[in-house]
Amino acid sequence: MKIAYCTERKSTYRANGWTEEQCAEFGEKSIDAVISGLQDVGHEVVMIGELKDLILELVATDFKPDWDLVYNAASGVVGSAREAQVPALLEAYEIPFTYANASTYSVSSNKVLTKVKRT
């Protein structure tokens, strides 16, 4: 299976002038471990990067990439629904991906909505 890996790399953001504190949640070791694990069981892994990198890749393939799946570990960097951005884009183009969908990320990252009781 060909798997595209979407996530932010600390080294990329540090190279663009972000401070260590701004990049605190971006891990390099876990990314490399996941890639190795996927490759060890026979998958081909293509490193994509963040949302903007994903958009460029999708445009380059006329929104028909040859990936079988996107491993989404992107947390986003801008906006209140930042974790929902990659899933929303992938949902719009019917590209299968791992982890939660856009609506789940949007609701779960909103503290007020997580406390609303259904009647």
For residues 94-113, average pLDDT: 83
Angle (CA) 61 63 66, round 5°: 60
Residue with tokens 């953001």: 13
Please check the confidence at residue 118 and state whether its pLDDT lies above 90. no
Residue with tokens 């997580």: 114
How does pLDDT run across 41-72, given as a tens digit for each residue?
999 999 999 899 999 999 999 999 999 999 99
- Quote the mean pLDDT of the chain: 88
pLDDT for the residue 110: 66
CATH number of 2-114: 3.40.50
Residues 74, 51: contact at Cβ < 8 Å?
yes
Residues 89, 66: Cα–Cα separation, whole Å = 16
How does pLDDT run across 72-98, given as a tens digit for each residue?
999 888 888 888 999 999 999 999 999
Residues 37, 95: Cα–Cα separation, whole Å = 22
pLDDT band at 108 (very low <50, low <70, confident <90, very high): confident
